[in-house]
Amino acid sequence: MSARVTVIGTGYLGATHAACMAEIGHEVLGLDVDPDKIAALRSGRVPFYEPGLEELLAKHVATGRLRFTTSYEEVAEFGEVHFSCVGTPQSPGGNAADLRYVDAVIEHLAPLLAGRNALVVGKSTVPVGTAERLATMLPEDAELAWNPEFLREGFAVEDTLRPDRLVFGVRSAAAEARLRAVYAPVISNGTPVVVTDFPTAELVKTSANAFLATKISFINAMAEVCEAAGADVTLLAEALSHDTRIGGRFLRAGVGFGGGCLPKDIRAFMARAGELGVDQALTFLREVDHINMRRRSRVVDLAREAAGGSFLGRRIAVLGAAFKPDSDDIRDSPALNVAAQIQLQGGNVSVYDPKAMDNARKAFPTLAYATSAEDALCRADVVLHLTEWQEFRDLDPAVLREMVARPYVIDGRNALDGGRWRAAGWTYRALGRP
């Protein structure tokens, strides 16, 4: 059954959720306070790169099922179910989550909902206890639910239309029923639904991110041990992956994680645990964070060693700018962090990424940017592979050998075929491998 759904906040999460809600049959109105973003969305353009999203959005803008506005009054008048999808960045000068945008949604919307029997659904990643507080700000006939998102950049459309689970944090059977109705086409495909209270729903997302970050940092810690012992972390990970208690996902050692979620979410989780008086329960996440940041420094050290002990007068090619492939998101990007560190130490750095160049230029305007991978590698003394795009894995090392000043590649993602590069005459180095 079609519902009138609104999505407040049209960033990465909101724009994806709005387009997918239209795809499963709802009438959708998206809201954002940025008029330029709204103008782009109204024309069917997404202001970031996510595979398949722009086509889906343009399709439903054209049919009229998906519209956009800057008016909270229009949202309140139109919607039956309101999804809050705004960001929760790290607070300036601290580790806690900045909830000003989450609070602003309720502050603007709540006075307009009296008498409308509306359901407000939070999807943002928030510290446990946030939903309890927000619920008190709504009028008596409006109800709050919490439905955390689990999107992977590069797979966001698939993860919304065919998620591996749905979590409903609710206080009433009526709220659960309304969420089940909204997600009926998704649930009918076999997606499991977990119904919880508010704090459990909030903790599902933060604990999932903490677990993933821990698993990534664990294999990176093993890479440090492997380098010291002369072992191969890729073979170690392969052996571990056959243990069904462990599995192989997120066991690829490399330069570490970045992006707009994992780094700031684990720090906010630690900060909230401290506020709750259980900070010792999450002290291990501090080391998870430290291990992750050490990986970036290790790549810089390897590059400096490859450059002869100093970056002065050396050309360094950096393949990758986005924090992960199939995205143009450069937030807390390990690749750009490494590139900037090398430039500060005197290196002549040239960066190339298939999708993230415009964003990288805005954030790091002093770096040099190439028009292609081949352009970046031209006369390079050291090549760094730092974002595992398929385009980079498909490069022919024999052809590239003729372009560089020195055939030396550091595979910061353990994703290239080391044997193939060595056979083409390259010195191949990777993290945690001989």
**370 contacts 350 by C-beta, under 8 angstroms:** yes
What is the DSSP code (8-state) at residue 111? Answer: G
Give the 3-state DSSP-derived string for 271-290, with helices as H, strands as E and coil as C.
HHHHHCCCHHHHCHHHHHHH
What is the DSSP code (8-state) at residue 97? Answer: B
- Alpha-carbon distance of 299 to 294, in angstroms, equals 9
Q: E strands along 56-137, which residues?
A: 66-69, 81-84, 119-122
Dig out the tokens for 68 from the structure.
């956009």
- Alpha-carbon distance of 47 to 160, in angstroms, equals 19
Which residue is listed with tokens 């909204």? 182
Dig out the tokens for 67 from the structure.
């519209």
Between CA 306 and CA 313, with CA 307 as vertex, the angle to 5 degrees is 170
Which residue is listed with tokens 């724009």? 15
The active-site residue out of 20, 226, 261, 378 is: 261
DSSP H stretches of helix in 230-261: 233-241
DSSP H stretches of helix in 28-99: 35-42, 53-63, 72-78
**328 contacts 248 by C-beta, under 8 angstroms:** no
Which residue is listed with tokens 């490494």? 338
CA 392 to chain centre: 21
What is the DSSP code (8-state) at residue 90? Answer: B
Q: CA of 2: how far to CAs of 17, 25, 162, in Å?
A: 15, 6, 18
For residue 87, what are the β-bridge partners?
A: none
**327 contacts 50 by C-beta, under 8 angstroms:** yes
**119 contacts 80 by C-beta, under 8 angstroms:** yes
Tell me whether residue 261 is one of the annotated catalytic residues. yes
Question: Regarding beta strands 382-385 and 66-69, do their DSSP bridges make them parallel or antiparallel, or are they unpaired?
Answer: unpaired
Catalytic residues: 261
